[in-house]
Amino acid sequence: MNNKNLTLRDIKSGKKCTVKDLLSKGKVRNRLLDLGFVKNSIIEVLQKSPSGDPVAYFVKGCVIALRSEDAKNILVKEI
């Protein structure tokens, strides 16, 4: 898989990735950083909600649900 332009939204359930960069700005960026979406953090994609959005992620020992709109602004590398 090409890891050059992957976003968190592109990673399938059960897979892991590392954060490379955040494209979000302002308060959303600060909130993502507070939740643990910092460079080189390992993220595991757990599952989608029944409607498909949001998606649950395992980050720094916690389960976090993010909307696709926010996940598309997190650049990652699949591991």
pLDDT at 45: 96
Residue 73 belongs to a domain: yes
Taking only the tens of pLDDT, the chain with its 79 residues reads 455 689 999 999 999 999 999 999 999 999 999 999 999 999 999 998 888 789 999 999 999 999 999 999 999 999 9
Report the number of distinct structural domains present in the chain. Answer: 1
Which residues constitute the domain of residue 66? 8-78
Instruction: For residue 44, give the CATH number of its domain.
Output: 2.30.30.90
Check the CA dihedral 54-58-63-64 and report its sign: negative
**Whole-prediction pTM:** 0.87
> Does residue 33 lie in a domain region?
yes
